[in-house]
């Protein structure tokens, strides 16, 4: 892991305004931001580790624990909300065996909510591994999740 | 283009891509290989709900909800003798009749598409398409025929106001930046479209990215900037990809970079990916974020025009503001000022969504009424339900009731009504939407997104949310309404930035226009829209035929009953998931939702 963080850092110059792009690159590669990578970024940019941590925790995009094989993002935008997003979220969490948002113990699924996917005309909608699924009903969700299951949760 | 040469346009906005439009494009390309029909993909047409959308030019034939197995029929209609494929026509939600061309679809015919005119008609990944419709002509004019002062004067005279929601005159912003001292200046584009329920900026970026670049380059020339950033949220991968392609192609063609079009003017643009913080839509927070800090706003003045990115004079405008610039330069300030109302010029773009028949992206002249947008363009409320409210301006805006449907849509009228234009979300709500829950929903959003810097916003939104949660969960008490109002006014007056100053709007407007719903929750333990779980209960009526559907579908086995006899719900077990209500056959319709004190007693 340490090696891949170093490889990422080598693509940057070490300026303060690169902190967010570096964090994004780390998460792209490792699926999350490990604690020691933040110290490495601090050393690289010369910004105190506390501040790197402060920046990383400020933004909703960054995660500090590994994600599951499949990431399901449930839109909680207004259009989705009035068209039944809470019920969709409930259906998904109960299907994968979670109480609320989070990652399943077997690391098969991560369920998160996002402010808005920007597909409001297809409300309610979710993304599974970046693919958008829209106009959802509970029934459709069950069907889609069965498909994901069948593909071995890959 | 030859008169009879046909082009098939396949929409590949995010909405249509999710409905497999790339598969349709590939299939059409295969089927039409060797013919003289051109197959092309475009950005968003704005009617995402009807996707995937396929348009045949020059006739303008409009096919909605196209499936991959419809492709052979479409191909045949283009190569063979057959007429258009009627079964794919868009069906009018009111008359249920098929409409063959998009010019005749009320959703489009009542709009005035200026900023969106290219979206859905050009290939956003090919700069040649943008050149073909006159792209970068405005830039040439600006660089060679106009002086920076002329450009700024034109933008001031056009009356263009910021399309991000604030509504500050764009030309003035440019003038202040131009006059600010300093050799290094920046031009920033705010594409951190964070309002839930809005996707206008995404569609413009995906459908017509060069129009935004052109606007930014002209702005840079006018104010004397050398460098630009587009701050785009990471949740829009397709928009980011297309922007990268557009920037690359613009550089290749000499429209961007050093010595632009041989004029000696240097300017380049980079994309900065936002990391999911709503507050970064606020200008000083956005700047802090680009600099690598937590995205927290600071107090103004100094405004970014004087001291912005890295302390240098900075112009910061919304995506749609920049997309208007080429129109003003090409057609003149006077032409632009002739559209709209006295104080709000040009068009407004809305993402019309929620409980509406035609949801999608609409562009209308300022001054049109909410009724015209919702009923004439949007086709009215879904499933003939009763209209209850329209929400504009996202978490900063408000909910307006039916009595405000004839309000003209412009910056000032909406603010007067207690809402605001915002960046363009417009969510329609019907009788099944609980207004207290809507207020709770928005406060839940702003409370999470509050950056925490100033106390009124950090703690005020928290307290308001707690009260609203109490009310929707049946723990509301007398005095809550007054306390809410007090808090809301305090947060509005005391917060540092736009997020906090407008966060109470959803509460204030629902209190103002739907106070009876709050009272019903607090005093009668009733949710008139029958949405708040803590205040409703499900009951099976004696018209039940005992089909057993609800019993089999109930996940917690709260329903008992024998076949062909009335079933019964154990209220102590019921988790109110509503599945019984959903599965009960419409003909039988024996599940009833009850709310209110008396119903609870009999349950």
Per-residue pLDDT tens digits for B374-433: 999 999 998 889 999 999 988 889 999 999 999 999 999 999 999 998 888 899 999 999
DSSP B284-349: HHHHHHHTTS-------SSPTTTS-GGGS-EEEEEHHHHHHHHHHHHH-HHHHHTSB-SSSBSEEE
Give the β-pairing of B268-274 and B227-233.
parallel
User: What CATH code is carried by the domain that includes residue B71?
Assistant: 3.40.30.10
Domain count, chain B: 5
CA distance B593 to B538: 5
ipTM for the complex shown: 0.89
Percent residues over pLDDT 70 in chain B? 98
Alpha carbon B539 to its chain's center = 38
Helix (H, G, I), strand (E, B) or coil at A92: helix
Assess if residue B495 is contained within a domain. yes
Using the Cβ of A114 and the Cβ atoms of chain B, whether some distance falls under 8 Å is answered with yes
Assess if residue B388 is contained within a domain. yes
Using the Cβ of A64 and the Cβ atoms of chain B, whether some distance falls under 8 Å is answered with no
Q: What is the mean pLDDT of residues B549-557?
A: 90
Q: What angle do CA A22, A24, A30 make, to 5 degrees?
A: 100
Q: Which residue ranges in chain A fall short of pLDDT 50?
A: 154
Cβ neighbours of residue B524 closer than 8 Å, sequence gap 6 or more: B596, B597
Regarding whether B269 and B160 lie in a shared domain, the answer is yes
Regarding whether B12 and B92 lie in a shared domain, the answer is yes
User: Is B292 in Cβ contact with A119 (below 8 Å)?
Assistant: no
Rounded to the nearest 10 degrees, how much is the dihedral formed by the CA atoms of B320, B326, B329, B330?
-130
Q: Is the pLDDT of residue B574 over 80?
A: yes
For residues B77 and B85, the answer to whether their CB atoms sit within 8 Å is yes
If one compares B471 and A129, the residue with the highest pLDDT of the two is B471
Regarding whether B356 and B302 lie in a shared domain, the answer is no
Beta carbons within 10 angstroms of residue B434's beta carbon: 26
Per-residue CA distances from A19 to A16, A39, B452, B453 (Å): 6, 12, 21, 21
CA distance B273 to B239: 11
For residues B75 and B31, the answer to whether their CB atoms sit within 8 Å is yes
Per-residue pLDDT tens digits for B46-71: 888 888 999 999 999 999 999 999 99
User: What CATH code is carried by the domain that includes residue B281?
Assistant: 3.40.50.11540
Site of tokens 């029929």:
B73
Q: What is the pLDDT of residue A79?
A: 87
Q: In the listed set B500, B523, B546, which residue is the last one of a domain according to the structure? A: B523
Reference B354, options A3, A85, A94, A114; nearest CA is A85
Beta carbons within 10 angstroms of residue A69's beta carbon: 17
Q: What is the pLDDT of residue A2?
A: 62
CA distance B471 to B328: 50
Q: Nearest CA to CA, how far is B263 from chain A (Å)?
A: 31
Regarding whether B382 and B320 lie in a shared domain, the answer is no
DSSP B219-231: HHHHHT--EEEEE
Average predicted confidence (pLDDT) for chain B = 94
Assess if residue B142 is contained within a domain. yes
Q: In the listed set B395, B412, B430, which residue is the last one of a domain according to the structure? A: B430
Q: What is the mean pLDDT of residues B346-365?
A: 93
Q: What is the pLDDT of residue A1?
A: 56
CA distance A78 to B23: 30
Cβ neighbours of residue B131 closer than 8 Å, sequence gap 6 or more: none
A/B interface, count of CB pairs below 8 Å: 145
Using the Cβ of A98 and the Cβ atoms of chain B, whether some distance falls under 8 Å is answered with no
| Minimum CA–CA partner of A62 in chain B | B275
Beta carbons within 10 angstroms of residue A142's beta carbon: 13
Assess if residue B122 is contained within a domain. no
Assess if residue B226 is contained within a domain. yes
Helix (H, G, I), strand (E, B) or coil at B5: coil
DSSP B58-127: TTTEEE-S--GGGHHHHHHHHHSS----GGGBEEPTTT--EE-BGGGSHHHHT---STTSSTTTS-TT-H
Regarding whether B250 and B195 lie in a shared domain, the answer is yes
Q: In the listed set B278, B312, B337, which residue is the last one of a domain according to the structure? A: B337
Structural domain boundaries enclosing B41? 7-108
Q: Measured between beta carbons, which residues in chain A are less than 8 angstroms from residue B292? A: 15-20, 47, 55
Regarding whether B136 and B70 lie in a shared domain, the answer is no
Regarding whether B266 and B247 lie in a shared domain, the answer is yes
Q: What is the mean pLDDT of residues B236-265?
A: 97
Per-residue pLDDT tens digits for B16-49: 888 889 999 999 999 999 899 999 999 988 888 8
Regarding whether B53 and B84 lie in a shared domain, the answer is yes
Assess if residue B463 is contained within a domain. yes
Regarding whether B250 and B215 lie in a shared domain, the answer is yes
Q: What is the pLDDT of residue B603?
A: 38
Per-residue pLDDT tens digits for B530-544: 999 999 999 999 999
CA distance B28 to B41: 11
Q: Nearest CA to CA, how far is A142 from chain B (Å)?
A: 13
User: What CATH code is carried by the domain that includes residue B543?
Assistant: 3.30.70.20
Regarding whether B229 and B193 lie in a shared domain, the answer is yes
Assess if residue B115 is contained within a domain. no
Q: What is the pLDDT of residue B598?
A: 59
Regarding whether B267 and B374 lie in a shared domain, the answer is no
Q: What is the pLDDT of residue B422?
A: 84
Regarding whether B498 and B480 lie in a shared domain, the answer is yes
A58 closest CB neighbour out of B277, B391, B582: B277
User: What CATH code is carried by the domain that includes residue B514?
Assistant: 1.20.1440.230
Indicate the pLDDT class of residue B150, thresholds 50, 70 and 90.
very high
Assess if residue B458 is contained within a domain. yes
Mutate to test the interface with A, among B107, B199, B359, B529 (most CBs of A within 10 A): B199
Q: Nearest CA to CA, how far is B426 from chain A (Å)?
A: 9
- Domains of chain A, first to last: 2-58 (1.10.10), 70-150 (3.40.30.10)
Q: What is the pLDDT of residue B600?
A: 46
Q: Nearest CA to CA, how far is B29 from chain A (Å)?
A: 23
Q: Measured between beta carbons, which residues in chain A are less than 8 angstroms from residue B351? A: 120-121
Q: What's the full length of chain A, in residues? A: 154
């Amino acid at each position: 892991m340490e090696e891949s963080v170093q490889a990422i850092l080598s693509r940057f110059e070490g300026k303060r305004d690169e902190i967010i792009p570096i964090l994004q690159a780390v998460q792209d590669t490792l699926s999350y931001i490990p604690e020691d990578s933040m110290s490495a970024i601090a050393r690289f940019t010369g910004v105190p580790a506390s501040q790197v941590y402060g920046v990383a925790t400020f933004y909703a995009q960054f995660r500090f624990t590994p994600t599951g094989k499949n990431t399901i993002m449930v839109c909680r935008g207004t259009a989705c909300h009035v068209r039944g997003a809470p019920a969709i979220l409930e259906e998904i969490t109960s299907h994968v065996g979670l109480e609320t948002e989070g990652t399943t113990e077997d690391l098969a699924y991560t369920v998160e909510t996002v402010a808005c996917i920007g597909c409001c005309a297809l409300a309610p909608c979710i993304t599974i591994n970046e693919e958008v699924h829209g106009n959802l009903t509970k029934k459709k969700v069950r069907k889609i999740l069965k498909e994901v299951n069948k593909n071995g949760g890959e | 283009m030859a008169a009879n040469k046909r082009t098939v346009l396949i929409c590949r906005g995010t909405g249509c891509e999710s409905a497999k439009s790339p598969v349709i494009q590939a299939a059409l390309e295969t089927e039409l290989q060797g013919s003289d029909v051109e197959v092309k993909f475009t950005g968003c047409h704005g009617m995402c709900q009807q996707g995937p959308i396929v348009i045949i030019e020059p006739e303008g034939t409009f096919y909605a909800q196209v499936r991959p197995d419809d492709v052979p029929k479409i191909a045949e209609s283009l190569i063979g003798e057959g007429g258009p494929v009627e079964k794919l026509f868009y069906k009018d939600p009111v008359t249920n009749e098929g409409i063959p061309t998009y010019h005749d679809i009320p959703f489009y015919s009542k709009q005035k598409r200026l900023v969106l005119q290219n979206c859905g008609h050009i290939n956003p990944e090919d700069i040649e398409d943008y050149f073909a419709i006159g792209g970068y002509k405005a830039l040439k004019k600006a660089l060679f025929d106009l002086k920076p002062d002329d450009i700024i004067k034109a933008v001031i005279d056009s009356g263009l106001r910021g399309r991000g929601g604030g509504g500050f005159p764009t030309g003035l912003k440019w003038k202040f930046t131009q006059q600010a001292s300093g050799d290094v200046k920046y031009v920033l584009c705010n594409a951190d479209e964070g309002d839930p329920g809005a996707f206008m900026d995404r569609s413009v970026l995906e459908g017509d990215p060069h129009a935004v670049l052109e606007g930014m380059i002209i702005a840079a020339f006018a104010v004397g900037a050398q460098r630009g950033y587009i701050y785009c949220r990471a949740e829009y991968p397709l928009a980011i990809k297309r922007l990268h392609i557009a920037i690359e192609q613009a550089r290749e063609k000499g429209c961007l970079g050093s010595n632009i079009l041989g004029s000696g003017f240097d300017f380049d643009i980079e994309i900065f990916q936002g990391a999911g913080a709503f507050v970064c839509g606020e200008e000083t927070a956005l700047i802090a974020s680009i600099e690598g800090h937590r995205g927290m706003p600071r107090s103004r003045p100094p405004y970014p025009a004087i001291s912005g990115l890295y302390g240098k004079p900075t112009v910061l405008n919304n995506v749609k503001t920049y997309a208007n610039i080429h129109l003003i330069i090409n057609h003149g300030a006077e032409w632009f000022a002739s559209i709209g109302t006295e104080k709000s010029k040009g068009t407004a773009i809305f993402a019309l969504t929620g409980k509406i028949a035609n949801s999608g992206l609409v562009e209308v002249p300022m001054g049109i009424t909410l009724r015209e947008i919702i009923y004439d363009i949007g086709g009215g409320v879904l499933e003939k339900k009763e209209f209850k409210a329209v929400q504009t301006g996202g978490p900063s805006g408000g909910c307006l009731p039916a009595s405000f449907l004839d309000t003209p849509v412009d910056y000032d009228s909406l603010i007067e009504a207690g809402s605001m234009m915002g960046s363009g979300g417009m969510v329609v709500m019907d009788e099944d939407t609980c207004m207290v829950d809507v207020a709770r929903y928005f406060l839940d959003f702003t409370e999470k997104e509050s950056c925490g810097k100033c106390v009124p916003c950090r703690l005020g939104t928290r307290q308001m949310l707690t009260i609203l949660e109490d009310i929707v969960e049946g723990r509301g008490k007398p005095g809550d309404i007054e306390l809410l109002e007090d808090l809301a006014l305090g947060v509005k007056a005391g917060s540092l930035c736009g997020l906090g100053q407008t966060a109470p709007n959803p509460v204030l407007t629902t209190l103002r226009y739907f106070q009876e719903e709050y009272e019903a929750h607090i005093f009668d333990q009733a949710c008139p829209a029958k949405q708040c779980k803590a205040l409703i209960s499900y009951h099976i009526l004696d018209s039940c035929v005992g089909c057993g559907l609800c019993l089999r579908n109930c996940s917690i086995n709260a329903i008992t009953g024998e076949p062909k006899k009335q079933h019964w719900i154990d209220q102590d077990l019921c988790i109110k998931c509503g599945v019984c209500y959903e599965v009960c056959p419409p003909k039988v319709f024996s599940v009833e939702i009850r709310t209110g004190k008396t119903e609870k007693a009999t349950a």
